[in-house]
Amino acid sequence: MKQTISSVTYFGQEGRENLDECLRLSFEAAVAHGLDKIVIFTGVGEGLQIALDNFLATPEFAHIRIIGVTFPQGHFSPDQANRVFSHEASEAFRKRGVSVLRAHLPFESISTQYRHHGVLAQDLSIVGNALNMFCGGMSLCIQAVLVACDAGEIEVGEHVIVLTSDTALIVRAAPTRKLLTDLLVRQIVCKPAFLTISKAEKLLDAPDVIDAEAPSELENPSTKHLEASSDTP
């Protein structure tokens, strides 16, 4: 089996300040690996707008299709209390060829009327909490792929780039019901090294960006679809 060496970029902190670099790394990774779809999880559409204006407008990346995933209707985030992804914004993106998916996130539990009554069966919130050990964006990346695959915007077994403002992955897609059998994280493109938001970790003295050793020539995973490992539906 051939061994490959790939670089991972580590940001010094979590958050929006990494968005531009995260997008650049994601588009470059898509070209390097022959991938033509990028899924962007976005709270208010900022990442989609930057992708359209700064990347898809260039010939190198013009062939790439971006897919937006956002929070479901009624979601409230304290850090974006005065900013919402409006229906008008969604329609504007659709007119530019960008699908924006708004759905219940798979790792969010469905609340009962009274808290002490517990949660519904097959609650996946513990999966999201486990992924947060890597960083806050890891869980959102995985959920974005699940939502996009459930909606038919990406195919089962297709390799795509998925990103948030500070985390980007190469993932083999699967629908939610096959999360634990078929979804694979193929490669981490970038992530925060210090979890300054999701874990309230204090920022230590460290470079703004920690870049791993430059990669050798990578074998291009040109086959974007792999046969699903579990039984067919």
In a domain, 161, yes or no: yes
* Global pTM value: 0.81
For residue range 188-222, list pLDDT tens digits in order.
999 999 999 999 998 654 445 555 554 444 344 44
In a domain, 181, yes or no: yes
In a domain, 219, yes or no: no
Domain residues for 147?
9-211
Residue 84's pLDDT is 65
For residue range 3-29, list pLDDT tens digits in order.
888 899 999 999 999 999 999 999 999
Helix (H/G/I), strand (E/B), else coil: 4: coil
Residue 119's pLDDT is 56
Instruction: Give the total number of structural domains in the chain.
Output: 1
Question: Which of the listed ranges 98-102, 107-111, 122-126, 213-217 does the model predict with the highest average pLDDT?
Answer: 98-102
CATH code, domain with 134:
3.40.1380.20
Residues in the chain: 233
Average pLDDT score over residue span 23-49? 96
Residue 226's pLDDT is 40
Residue 106's pLDDT is 87
Q: Are 166 and 11 in contact (CB under 8 A)?
A: yes
Q: What is the pLDDT of the chain when averaged over all its residues?
A: 83
Q: Are 141 and 171 in contact (CB under 8 A)?
A: yes
Average pLDDT score over residue span 118-135? 80
In this structure, what token pair is assigned to residue 226?
């792999």
Of 131 and 227, the structure prediction assigns the larger pLDDT to 131
Q: Pairing mode, if any, of strands 37-41 and 159-163?
A: parallel
In a domain, 232, yes or no: no
User: In one letter, which amino acid is 33?
Assistant: H
